[in-house]
Chain A
């Protein structure tokens, strides 16, 4: 088996990379895919906490690279989903301990056993970024509808091209449909027009994300959450399915009623 290696990146911090990585990983695993997540943010790891696995860590990415243990020993199995594994980042070690060639070798080793290897990239464009993208075949860029985040996304697209990662796909996170309608927030078309790349999905700003992150439970498992639905659609698009983009308009009373009565939307 030769799995796909995806990197989730953004340039700017705080736009929701880690949450996105966790949800894509959990979503793919729910579809029955064998998935390994790699936290490449050495020294500022977060993916373990988002998944609620922080107390299971014994070995980490740096241990694997330095040969203190084998990859299998460092992989942590998710507590809810059978096919989901995490390779955590080191929290107490130096970033420089890992080099891009080593990351590439690691990704290639993991893709033998997993259908998807998803790398959570640290913010910034330095060593951590170069490590994270070293072994990837495809890139997913996360941005929010803010000037600074979109600008950084543009920079990242350029850097990915320079590393021969063409055609990255975009996830626009934390859209607030009401603000867009009022003209107080850039909309999907605005951002796509500016960045000129393919859209992979749009995730509405949703309080359920905060609640699920607090619990260490990816929101994609919550079928009622709109953000969860959005991640589900993204996952199916990654799988190659043609999934229409969901309407961001709040459901009116009438549609909701209709759905309840007729059993479909």
Chain B
């Protein structure tokens, strides 16, 4: 499957003579040295690709350059160097007018503080993108209504943004992004301003919607738990650079460096890990003729624990063809829960 969105060596430098600064960065000059010259390298050499239907999460602390990176993807910020391709089309080569057309039809955005227009009703907000496209009123109101219903806001069309709770406002923001039928959704810390329970709801709803809509989503967050929950793949950013890209389990079990390792300490591993990532692929110790319960590679870690508690031997992991692909001994569960990486666990075994 070819990539929907590709970022190739993206740089964004603020300050005087940005081109020169990029050249210096390529030659290995440190970001701090540039800062001393009054130049801020917000994004340095970021490359990744996002497949259609994938949720790609960019995770990093504030100041890591993730929001800048996101704004280069739809051209709100012009990259200092590098390219952005959408379905193979080079967005960085487009004129302003062409770029606006792409933004109006193919790329939507959901904002951290919702960015709803206070002088427009909920329906008019949801219809905004279609209005920009020039869709006639009746049709855009119909489509806005559908998008609002999809986000669970049927019946609120004639309300005003300031009459809604934060969670509902962000649903309007989501409906506004979905109404245009753009395939690529850029979500900039979209759930960060919500309180934890609402945030969970919104994450669940996004995953639910994604099952049927299959949008391509680039999601920015500073919350690693959120990244692990939502992301098919995760890119971890630090100081403008992407330090690791991989699935949640890759990052949890095989952190690329100490920074990522320190980052994942607080993650609730039991929510992320599945049988496939903790099992021992050697089949030693498997009671082949045992008729007790087994797991699949997708079985969540917590379910594995429950299974293991009722067995005196390791839990068997079976694939679709009922072949045993691995076993999970209890001590392995404990080791992973204790925060050990894949290598450390292997070394003990």
Are A and B bound to each other?
A: no
